[in-house]
């Protein structure tokens, strides 16, 4: 390391230290003293890398939320997650041998139950390195076991940070959060594992409830989300990492059992936003693996493909982010294994550039690339990576270049895995972007001999969408498939409005736009009616005000039989549909809420009992795949639901009364 590079790093570390207010040890002066290489004609130290300027510490305003496919800050300006993973607190022990033996830890890197590298470099120096890399955010993995681990960390594990001696792993994690956010970086909490060990195989950490109960998982998350509620730069909760098959069982997306990742993540996200920390982004990964990796048997990586048919609707709109992971050695149907568990399926590195792009769009990026859909949301690639100096494989190198090009072209949010690793004599776990040896000497991707440098620079420096993002129309799916699906905070605060029925309600500020004839699905929107609509903060009074549960035809105007022969559950004047309840397939009641604007009275009947009836230009997308659907136009509101119990009918909805939003 040159003296000049030492000076740059020391200056950055000092800046971070001043911002964070975290005491650290003095640098290992003897270990870091190296001869100054000769200067070139310009006076610049020979071979010294040209480091990018660190990002300003105060260039965004928390909290974060979403607008369509973009994450935005409190000013409504695009905040692109340029992130990396600082792993270690989730564990590096491989599960056999001694956790204290480096040989029994992944790549010989023993984290000591806390973010990696604190034995080798001051925390401020590590974080200054993150800013050198051009990052604005860090994904910080933890394990559930770490939260409750009362054993102090070993003194040797924090040798470069003596102020952390005697701390528990959670207290060290606290210090990392404080230092990161103090340096202006956003932090995303990531529940990586149940137990503190290396991820991600058949290791007891396959699901959120593999080695613990779902109740404990939820309780731990409420604790962690609440713990950092007063730190606005803690911006997100990545609910669980790489949900995958155990020896005997697959996770699923929507079956309603104890392995249903869709239902578990939906419930927990709502609880965090309602009970612990309403400011956090809720980050939900797709399913990483199902089936047995054996040729001829079903297996694969669903990722975010199921989202197109079943998407989350949270109690606070604008808080959902979807996530996916991609590595060259895995594939859409390849587990990444060699030997046992290896199949003949192609890995991502085996695809041509155009083939890879098609696969990426199908598996994840359709969520962000299609606008005005019930599933439209930002997609954060929260893990990707490749070997560094020692990676000579042409396919791996080509894959990384193609993948980073795709991230650039799609202006995607990303997080590299991992940020911190170890080296000795410039050899070691070369995947990291920053490495420290046992004497505290750093090796980084910008040192001039790492083939990834060009791709990394292009990625972090790539132009993309900036500035204010206009508020898009919101579209939300209701899916009371196995129980209540009440996305309205307002309606969660009132007594049970149809006891024994499965109830569905739109998020506050949205209205019902469509229903399916079978399957119980619904579609909500705020298109054409933003502002002080029912349930929004501008109108909401005491819980229970301005809504009505309609079970009969009391509000049907005389002479206006808009669905002859059917029972019509119609809202009173000045109200529109914001929810419904069902018993089995049958409609049980309509939920009507007071509007914050004048509503038209003339309407039309939209029948959908025998075929789809949706405007060709309507938003929302297919909200009930495989079922007949009815939907009002974007400038209309749904004022009534019609159903029948005549012979051969189940009482499922068959028609909507659609009326213009604005009174003529």
CATH number at residue 278: 3.20.20.80
Same domain, 245 and 297: yes
- Do 257 and 124 fall into the same domain? yes
d(CA 588, CA 582): 5
d(CA 52, CA 445): 12
Query: Where does a domain end: 413, 436, 461?
Result: 461
**The last residue of a domain, from among 461, 495, 511:** 461
**Contacts of residue 6, Cβ cutoff 8 Å, sequence gap at least 6:** 32
In a domain, 351, yes or no: yes
Please indicate, yes or no, if residue 30 is contained in any of the structural domains: no
- The verdict on 122 and 204 lying in the same domain is yes
> Are residues 480 and 457 part of one domain?
no
The verdict on 442 and 487 lying in the same domain is no
Helix (H) or strand (E) holding 142: strand 137-143
Residue 359: inside a domain: yes
How many angstroms separate the first and last alpha carbons of the chain?
75
Contact (CB, 8 A) for 380 and 81: yes
Residue with tokens 């003529």: 664
Encode pLDDT of 384-407 as tens digits. 999 999 999 999 999 999 999 999
pLDDT reported for residue 38: 37
| pLDDT at residue 440, rounded to an integer | 96
Crossing angle (nearest 10°) for helices 169-182 and 123-132? 40
In a domain, 233, yes or no: yes
Among residues 82, 664, 108, 184, the alpha carbon closest in space to that of 415 is found at 82
Peptide bond into 63 cis (omega under 30): yes
449 and 486 in a common domain: no
Place of tokens 């620079």: 457
Tell me how far apart the alpha carbons of residues 633 and 72 are, in angstroms, rounded to a whole number.
29
Q: Which residues does 282 contact at the CB level (< 8 Å), separation at least 6?
A: 236, 237, 239, 265, 269, 272, 273, 312, 314, 319, 320, 321
Give the model's pLDDT for residue 172.
Answer: 98
432 and 519 in a single domain? The answer is: no
pLDDT digits 0-9 by tens, 582-613 = 999 999 999 999 987 788 888 999 999 999 99
Q: Which residues of the chain have pLDDT under 50?
A: 1-55, 58, 532, 534-544
- Could you tell me if residue 3 is inside a domain? no
Q: How many Å apart are CA 410 and CA 326, to the nearest integer? A: 15
Whether 49 is covered by a domain: the verdict is no
- CA dihedral sign, ordered 501, 507, 513, 518: negative
* Contact present, 306 and 322 (Cβ < 8 Å): no
Q: Which two tokens stand for residue 251?
A: 């996770």
The whole-number pLDDT of residue 650 equals: 87
For residues 518 and 375, state if they share a domain.
Answer: no
Helices of type H across 272-365: 353-360
User: Pick from 124, 118, 201: which is nearest to 161 by CA?
Assistant: 118
Q: 3-state class of 87 per DSSP?
A: coil
Contact in structure between 548 and 536 (CB atoms under 8 Å): no
Same-domain pairing of 512 and 445: no
Query: Which residues, at least 6 apart from 400, have a Cβ–Cβ distance to it below 8 Å?
Result: 328, 386, 452, 455
Provide the β-strand partners of residue 230. none
pLDDT confidence of residue 545: 57
Whether 487 and 607 share a structural domain = yes
Looking at the structure of the chain, the number of domains it has is 2
Same domain (yes/no): 214, 323: yes
Residue 524 and residue 394 share a domain: no
Domain boundary among 434, 461, 488: 461
Q: What is the H or E stretch that residue 659 is in?
A: strand 653-660
Q: Is residue 436 part of a domain?
A: yes
User: Does residue 57 lie within any of the structural domains?
Assistant: no
**Nearest C-alpha neighbor of 227 from the set 186, 182, 280, 179:** 280
Cβ contact 189:240 at 8 Å: no
- Contact, 206 vs 130, CB < 8 A? no
Residue-number span of the structural domain to which 483 is assigned: 475-530+544-661
At 628 the three-state DSSP class reads coil
Structure-block tokens of residue 77 = 């300006």
């Amino acid at each position: 390391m040159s003296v000049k590079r030492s000076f740059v790093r020391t200056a950055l570390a000092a800046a971070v230290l001043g911002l964070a207010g975290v005491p650290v040890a003095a640098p290992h002066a003897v270990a870091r003293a190296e001869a100054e290489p000769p200067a070139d004609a310009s006076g610049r130290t020979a071979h010294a890398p040209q480091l990018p300027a660190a990002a300003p510490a105060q260039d965004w305003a928390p909290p974060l939320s979403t607008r369509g496919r973009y994450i935005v800050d409190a000013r409504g300006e695009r905040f692109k997650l340029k992130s990396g993973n600082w792993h270690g607190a989730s564990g590096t022990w491989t599960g056999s041998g001694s956790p204290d033996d480096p040989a029994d830890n992944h790549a010989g890197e023993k984290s000591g139950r806390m973010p990696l590298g604190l034995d080798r470099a001051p925390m401020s120096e590590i974080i200054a390195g993150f800013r050198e890399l051009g990052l604005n955010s860090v994904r910080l993995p933890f394990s559930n076991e770490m939260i409750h681990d009362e054993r102090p960390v070993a003194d040797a594990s924090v040798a470069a940070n003596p102020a952390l001696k005697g701390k528990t792993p959670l207290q060290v994690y606290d210090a990392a959060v404080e230092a990161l956010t103090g340096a202006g970086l956003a932090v995303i909490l990531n529940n990586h594992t149940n137990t503190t060990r290396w991820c991600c195989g058949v290791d007891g950490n396959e699901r959120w409830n593999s080695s613990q109960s779902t109740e404990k998982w939820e309780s731990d998350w409420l604790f962690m989300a609440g713990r950092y509620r007063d730190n606005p730069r803690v911006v997100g909760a990545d609910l669980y990492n790489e949900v995958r098959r155990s020896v005997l069982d697959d996770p699923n997306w929507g079956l309603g059992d104890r392995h249903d990742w869709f239902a578990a993540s939906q419930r927990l996200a709502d609880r965090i936003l309602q009970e612990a920390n309403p400011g956090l982004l809720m980050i939900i990964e797709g399913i990483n693996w199902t089936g047995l990796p054996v040729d001829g048997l079903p297996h694969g990586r669903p990722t975010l493909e199921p989202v197109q048919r079943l998407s989350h609707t949270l109690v606070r709109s604008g808080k959902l982010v979807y996530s996916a992971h991609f590595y060259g050695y895995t594939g859409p149907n390849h587990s990444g294994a060699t030997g046992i568990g290896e199949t003949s399926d192609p890995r991502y590195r085996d695809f041509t550039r155009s083939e890879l792009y098609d696969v990426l769009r199908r598996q994840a990026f359709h969520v962000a690339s299609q606008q005005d859909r019930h599933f439209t949301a930002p997609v954060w690639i929260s893990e990707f990576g490749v070997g560094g100096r020692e990676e000579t494989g042409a396919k791996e190198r080509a894959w990384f270049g193609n993948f980073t090009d795709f991230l650039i072209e799609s202006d995607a949010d990303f997080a590299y895995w991992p940020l911190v690793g170890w080296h000795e004599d410039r050899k070691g776990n070369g995947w990291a972007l920053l490495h420290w040896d046992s004497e505290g000497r750093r090796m980084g991707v910008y040192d001039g001999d790492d083939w990834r440098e060009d791709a990394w620079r292009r990625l972090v420096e790539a132009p993309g969408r900036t500035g204010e993002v206009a508020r898009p129309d919101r579209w939300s799916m209701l899916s009371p498939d196995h129980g209540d699906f009440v996305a309205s905070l307002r309606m969660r605060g009132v007594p049970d409005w149809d006891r024994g029925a499965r109830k569905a309600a739109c998020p506050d500020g949205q209205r019902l736009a469509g229903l399916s004839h079978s399957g119980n699905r619904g579609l909500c929107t705020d298109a054409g009616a933003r502002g002080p609509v029912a349930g929004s903060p501008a109108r909401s009074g005491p819980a229970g005000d301005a809504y009505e549960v309609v079970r009969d035809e009391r509000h049907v105007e005389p002479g206006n039989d808009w669905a002859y022969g059917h029972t019509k559950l119609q809202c009173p004047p000045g109200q529109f549909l914001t929810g419904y309840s069902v018993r089995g397939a049958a409609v049980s009641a309509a939920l009507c809420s007071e509007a914050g604007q004048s509503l038209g009275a003339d309407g039309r009947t939209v029948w959908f009992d025998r075929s789809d009836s949706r405007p060709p230009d309507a938003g929302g997308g297919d909200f009930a795949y495989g079922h007949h659907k009815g939907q009002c136009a974007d400038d209309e509101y749904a004022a009534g639901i019609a159903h029948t119990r005549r012979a051969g009918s189940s009482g499922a909805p068959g028609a909507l009364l659609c009326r213009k939003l604005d009174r003529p």
